[in-house]
Amino acid sequence: MVMHMTVRVAVSGASGYAGGEVLRLLSSHPEVEIGAVTAHSSAGELLGTHQPHLRSLAGRRLEATGADTLRGHDVVVLALPHGASAEVAAQLGDDVLVLDCGADHRLVDAAQWTAFYGSDHAGTWPYGLPELLLDRGSRRQRDLLAGVRRVAVPGCNVTAVTLGIQPGVAAGLVETTDLVAVLAVGYSGAGKAAKTHLLASEGLGSAVPYAVGGTHRHIPEIEQNLRWVGADAVSLSFTPALVPMARGILATTTARLVPGVAASDVRAAWVDAYADEPFVHVLPEGQWPTTAATTGANTALVQVAVDERAGRVVAVTALDNLVKGTAGAAVQSMNIALGLPETTGLPLEGVAP
């Protein structure tokens, strides 16, 4: 006999890309009833004005974001700008599961938060990347998510880079003091705000780097993850570029091989790390990840090779920044925290062409 539970979920920041994607996933989740949908400047307007693709919810009216509106739900998803979640979350009781899609509660080091975000640190919550290999792979982050009432959802670029390189770190095959990550990122990763450099007339036919030279806010989060995996020290050169696609991340991460490591050992480490993971798939040899293959799915596709001339491992990861990179990670973590099957309500198949 299959037991069912009804979980009432509120989504704050429902007019944005991340909030809209959370609602898309929750609308087909068999155990979820969608409660309040809230926004800030667009409060009072119909959700369908901002998320016209969500036909089943289009007639819902956006309420103002506030603790009074969010209380009384089993789960609250905060898809708010960085720095805005902590104040709202602090007003919600410990009986509600709060999932923060922003960065407010991801970092352990308060000094790193202040350096990269320029404000006071709001504290650290359990981290919502279930596949993260802890202690060189002896545990996984999902082991720490069961029953929690606060979850910090990872950054999308962070997820792509971490999933790409962590098997080599956990197995001790790569040197973590010489990591290089270059990412192609879809425009939805930059948010929904109307800014000149995000207009189609500026972006179509062009690729443009941003946050160059060690300034991207995801850098300390990636380094933190790899230390949790088992690295003694991490030095990362991280360069993202916006490319003309709506969604998706293609992350290429390279690391110097530890002397004496054989190429056959490298692939085996990646395959073993993800053999039982429902959402992270190492592709057959010779097949490379594409962002198109992950569109709309909570999957991350990974491939690894050894550049023997350079003595480096090359790991390539593709994922949908709005699904596995954000909303899917939130729902996946919600499922674990509530004791539901981890894959409930989450699509494995992409949309093509």
Residue 347 lies in a domain: no
User: Do both 89 and 172 map to the same domain?
Assistant: no
User: Do both 148 and 162 map to the same domain?
Assistant: no
pTM above 0.85, yes or no: yes
Check 75, 156, 165, 249 and give the catalytic one: 156
- Residue 133 CA to residue 68 CA, distance in Å, equals 38
Beta carbons within 10 angstroms of residue 111's beta carbon: 10
pLDDT (tens, 9 = 90+) of the chain, 353 residues, equals 445 779 999 999 999 999 999 999 999 999 999 999 999 999 999 999 999 999 999 999 999 999 999 999 999 999 999 889 999 999 999 999 999 999 999 999 999 999 999 999 999 999 999 999 999 999 999 999 999 999 999 999 999 999 999 999 999 999 999 999 999 999 998 888 878 888 888 889 999 999 999 999 999 999 999 999 999 999 999 999 999 999 999 999 999 999 999 988 999 999 999 999 999 999 999 999 999 999 999 999 999 999 999 999 999 999 999 999 999 999 999 999 999 999 999 999 999 88
User: Do both 103 and 221 map to the same domain?
Assistant: no
Active-site annotation holds for 156: yes
Residue 33 lies in a domain: yes
List for the chain the helix, strand, coil content (%; round to 5).
30, 25, 45
User: Do both 143 and 40 map to the same domain?
Assistant: yes
User: Do both 223 and 127 map to the same domain?
Assistant: no
User: Do both 186 and 134 map to the same domain?
Assistant: no
Q: How many domains does the chain have?
A: 2
Instruction: Check residue 164 and give its pLDDT.
Output: 98
Instruction: Check residue 3 and give its pLDDT.
Output: 55
- Residue 217 CA to residue 158 CA, distance in Å, equals 10
Instruction: Check residue 195 and give its pLDDT.
Output: 86
Task: Quote the domain boundaries for residue 254.
Answer: 157-319
Instruction: Assign 326 to helix, strand or coil.
Output: helix
We report the CATH number of the domain holding residue 72 as 3.40.50.720
User: Do both 71 and 139 map to the same domain?
Assistant: yes
DSSP string, 13-78: STTSHHHHHHHHHHTT-TTEEEEEEEESTTTTSBHHHH-TT-GGGTTPBPEEP-HHHHTT-SEEEE
User: Do both 217 and 288 map to the same domain?
Assistant: yes
Bridge partner list, 63:
38
- Residue 186 CA to residue 257 CA, distance in Å, equals 30
We report the CATH number of the domain holding residue 172 as 3.30.360.10
User: Do both 174 and 296 map to the same domain?
Assistant: yes
Residue 325 · residue 156 · CB < 8 Å: yes
- Residue 321 CA to residue 248 CA, distance in Å, equals 5
Beta carbons within 10 angstroms of residue 18's beta carbon: 28
Residue 332 lies in a domain: yes
User: Do both 333 and 307 map to the same domain?
Assistant: no
